[in-house]
Every structure is written in C-alpha cells, then in structure tokens.
C-alpha cells in the first residue's frame, strides 16, 4: 500500500476529524514552521531551509538538464502582482526540481516549459507541469511538489519544451536555438527515510531583510555577473520592489536585433545574491523616446532586457517602467518581493 493508501485507510478507520492531524504529521508540519508574522514587502530570511538530493544530470537534444529533490515545500505561484500559495498536501512525497541550461555557454534557460512524469515499476506515480521558480538556496529552477508511490527506483521523464519567440527574443548565436523540444530520462532511488535524512535548519532571524547563501548544485546558476565583469559600460543602477536594475550601454546592437545605434542592456537581479529576475514586461524612456525593453537571451550578455537606441548621451535619464513583475513562482523569502514595482530612474 502506498502512503496515500495508508492515509486513506486511516481516514476510513479514524474519521475525517483525525485525518487533518494525520496528514499534518505525515507532511511533517514541524518541518514547515508557520510563516513569520509581518513579512516585509522585500526579500527576507525564510523560517528554514532544507538540503536537497541530486538525482542526476544528462543531455537531451540541445539542452543539459539536472534534477534534484527535496522535502515538499510550500511555494507561491504568481499571476500579475498576485500570489497564490501552493499548500502542501499529505500525498506529496517530494519537491522535484530541474535546471536546464545551454551546455556551451552555461546559460540557464528560464522560459522552457517543463513537464515531469514520475513512474515506478512502469506505473504512473505523478505527472505535472514544473513551474519556473526562484529560491534563495537554489536560484532559478523548475519545480513542483509531486506524489510518490513508496520507496524504490523511480524514472523521471522530463519533457523540455521549446521557448516561444514571443516569450523571449534570441540574439547572436542563440538565434534559432531552443526551438526543439527534447526529453530526458533520469533514474533515481528514493526513500522516505533518505528524504527525511536531508539536512534541515531553522533560522532565528527569520523575517530579517537578508537572503540565504546559494548552495552548490551540479548545475550552473542564473546570476548576473558583478558589475566589473559585465560586458559594455555600466551606466547606473536603480532599485524597484527590492529588485536591482543594472543599466549598461553596449556599443553594438547584438546580431539579429534591428537598429544600428547603441544597445541598452538592462540586467535585473535579486539583492544579496544577484540571481537573474526573468519574465517581466519592462519599458523604458530616454529623452522623450519610449520603447520596450524586451526580454532577450544572448550568448554573450545572457538573459537581459534590451532595446536598440540611436544614441545615449551623458546625463540622459532612463526611466524604467515595470508593466509586469517577474512571473515566476517563489519559495519562501521571495514571495513578498518583486511584486509592487514602482518606476525607477537612472541617470546615465
């Protein structure tokens, strides 16, 4: 009998009232302490963190993918500026995660659509969309809480979807890339006991405006390089909703993007650990000229928001408007930040 069956059998015996408590022990609510009160509208220290187990990594088509799992996590889906908390349910066995990147440039892809199917002994344990999400220790990844079917050997079949051009523009050698879907299969051992042995830590200073250190993964992380290492000239920074915008001017427009003046590349990242903040709608205005800052994947610049402009004059003011905040799910500590994002101005 799988865990779910045990729970249901229990429900039959003990009645519905007890099931609530039973489910909670099953999902070890001790391991998800209550949220801190008065969470700031900013990045904050979560109540706890958990280790993760590397499941494996492999190559599929033009992608490299690594998968891992951790204890089931609460997380928040984001639609516009609204968050919707995904509650844990007693049938979830693990928080299953994957990171996808371009092997050559190690660029992490934030907009592939991932599906994971988990089978054990040839029968389906769960199949789900993996949400693009952001966590302090893990950075940008795809994940969801999945149901299992007891201890044993699982096969995770991960469908990596193509990235629509309408969603993110590609330039340079990334033109024409990430248009073919691919499937990766990874086998792994899972047991409740191994999962429960994963490191677990609670924090006394939960709620403080700070962030956990990223952990080591067998996958590259999507971070914006320090200002000194960014290509082009850094011309200023601004913050909005706790996000940092670093504005650079490139002397040439990346291949494949129309325009022959200069190129404004805006890098958006989290405070403290410089994790890329993808999936916003941004627009800019410079000297009475308004334009979209289009989300773009470029092999040299990485993920950024860009616009070709005739010329940037010293002392010009770039106004950045966030029409849509980062549309990706958030782990605890990020769910209050990057939602209400007022206009920002940068003197170039």
Partner 1 sequence: MDFDESLPRRQFVKAAVAAGGASALSACLGRAPRAGEPVPTGVSDISNLPQRQHAWNDRVRVDADGNVHLPRHQTFLYLTVDADGPPEDDARGTVEAALRTLDRAYERSNEGLVYSLAYAPSYFDRFEATLPDSVDLPEPRRLSGFENPTFDTQDALLHLASDRGDVVLEAEEAMFGDRSEANGVAVEAKLGDALTVDDRRTGFIGAGMPAERQAQAGEPISGIPDSLPVPEQSPLFMGFEAGFAGNQATEDYVTIPEGPFAGGTTKHVANLRQRLGDWYDEQSFAERVMEMFSPSHAEQGLVEGVGDNLGADSGIDAVLDPETIQQSISDHGRVGHAQKAARANRDADGNVRILRRHVESTDDDVASLHFPSLQRRLSTFEEVRAAMNGDDLTDNPAIRQRVNNGILEYIFVQNRGNFLVPPRRHRALPTPRPA
Residues near partner 1 (CB under 8 A) are 4-5, 7-8, 12, 77, 79-80, 82, 84, 86-87, 89-91, 111, 113-115, 117, 123-124, 126-129, 131-132, 159, 161-164, 166-167, 179, 181, 183, 279-281, 295, 324, 326-327
Task: Report the sign of the C-alpha dihedral through residues 161, 167, 168, 173, in that order.
Answer: positive
How many residues bind Cu ion, per CB under 5 A? 2
Residue with the two structure tokens 């966590």: 135
SS3 state at 249? strand
Q: Is 203 left (phi over 0), alpha (psi -120 to 50) or beta?
A: beta
Q: Which helix (H) or strand (E) holds 17?
A: helix 16-26
Measured from the CB atom, the residue of 132 and 156 that comes closer to partner 1 is: 132
The item of partner 1, Cu ion, none sharing an interface with residue 56, based on CB under 5 to 8 Å by kind, is none
Contacted by 133, from Cu ion, partner 1, none: CB < 5 to 8 Å by type: Cu ion
When CB distances are held under 5 to 8 angstroms depending on the partner's kind, the choice from Cu ion, partner 1, none that residue 27 binds is none
Q: Which is nearer to Cu ion, 143 or 284 (CB)?
A: 143
Whichever of 59 and 179 has its CB closer to partner 1, that residue is 179
Query: Contact at 8 Å (CB) between 33 and 10?
Result: no
133 binds Cu ion (CB under 5 A): yes
Least distance in angstroms from the C-beta of 47 to Cu ion: 16
Helices (H), 106-236: 192-196
Nearer to partner 1, 24 or 115 (CB): 115
Minimum Å gap between C-beta 133 and partner 1 is 11
| Shortest Å distance, C-beta 141 to Cu ion | 6
**Is 99 in contact with 65 (CB distance < 8 Å)?**
yes
CB of 316 to partner 1, least distance (A): 27
Neighbouring residues of 308: CB distance < 8 A, sequence distance ≥ 6 = 253, 257, 258, 259, 260, 261, 262, 263, 264
Which of partner 1, Cu ion, none lies near 273, with the C-beta cut-off 5 to 8 A by kind? none
**Interface with Cu ion by CB under 5 A: which range of 10-18, 125-133, 220-228, 249-257?**
125-133
Query: Exposed, middle or buried, 73 (CB in 10 Å: 0-12/13-18/19+)?
Result: buried
Nearer to partner 1, 212 or 257 (CB): 257
Q: How far is the CB of 233 from partner 1 (least distance, A)?
A: 28
* Smallest distance, partner 1 to C-beta of residue 258, A: 17
**Which residue, 137 or 326, has its beta carbon nearer to partner 1?**
326
The closest alpha carbon to 301, from 179, 169, 134, belongs to 169
Strand boundaries in 176-301, DSSP class E = 182-190, 200-202, 233-240, 243-250, 262-269, 281-286, 289-298
* From partner 1, Cu ion, none, interface partner of 285 (C-beta below 5 to 8 A by class): none
**Least separation, in Å, of the C-beta of 16 and partner 1?**
11
Q: Which two tokens stand for residue 132?
A: 């693009």
| Residue 38, contacted partner among partner 1, Cu ion, none, CB below 5-8 A by kind | none
Show Cβ contacts of residue 158 under 8 Å, excluding neighbours closer than 6 positions. 60, 65, 67, 98, 114, 115, 116, 117, 130, 183, 184, 185, 186
Cα separation, 2 vs 223, in Å, equals 40
| Position closest to Cu ion via CB | 143
Chain positions 143 to 162 lying near Cu ion, rule: CB under 5 A, are: 143
Shortest distance, position 185 Cβ to partner 1, whole Å: 11
The residue ranges that bind Cu ion (CB under 5 A) are 133, 143
């Amino acid at each position: 009998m799988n865990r779910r069956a045990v729970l249901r059998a229990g429900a039959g015996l003990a009645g519905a009232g007890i099931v609530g408590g039973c489910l909670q022990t099953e999902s070890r609510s001790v391991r998800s302490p209550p949220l801190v009160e008065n969470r700031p509208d900013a990045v904050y220290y979560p109540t706890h963190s958990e280790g993760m187990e590397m499941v494996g990594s492999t190559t599929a088509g033009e992608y490299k993918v690594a998968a891992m799992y951790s204890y089931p996590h609460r997380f928040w889906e984001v639609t516009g500026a609204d968050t919707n908390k995904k509650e844990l349910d007693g049938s979830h066995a693990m928080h299953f995660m994957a990171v996808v990147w371009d092997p050559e440039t190690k660029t992490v892809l934030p907009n592939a659509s991932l599906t994971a199917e988990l089978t054990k002994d040839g029968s389906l344990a769960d199949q789900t969309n993996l949400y693009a999400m952001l966590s302090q220790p893990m950075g940008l990844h795809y994940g969801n809480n999945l149901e299992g079917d007891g201890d044993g050997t699982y096969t995770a079949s991960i469908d990596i979807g193509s990235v629509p051009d309408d969603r993110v523009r590609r330039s340079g050698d990334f033109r024409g890339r990430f248009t073919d879907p691919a499937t990766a299969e990874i086998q792994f051992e899972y047991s409740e006991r191994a999962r429960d042995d994963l490191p677990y830590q609670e924090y006394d200073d939960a709620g403080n405006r700070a962030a956990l250190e990223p952990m080591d993964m067998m996958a590259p992380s999507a971070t914006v390089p320090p200002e000194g290492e960014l290509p082009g000239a850094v011309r200023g920074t601004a913050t909005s909703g706790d996000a940092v915008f670093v504005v650079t001017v490139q002397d040439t427009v990346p291949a494949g993007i129309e325009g022959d003046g200069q190129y404004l590349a805006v890098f958006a990242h989290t405070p403290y650990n410089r994790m890329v903040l993808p999936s916003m709608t941004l627009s800019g205005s410079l000297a009475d000229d308004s334009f979209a800052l289009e989300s773009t994947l470029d092999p040299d610049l990485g993920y950024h928001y860009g616009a070709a402009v005739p010329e940037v004059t010293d002392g010009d003011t770039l106004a950045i408007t966030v029409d849509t905040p980062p549309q990706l799910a958030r782990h605890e500590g990020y769910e209050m930040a990057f939602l209400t994002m007022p206009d920002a101005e940068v003197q170039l």
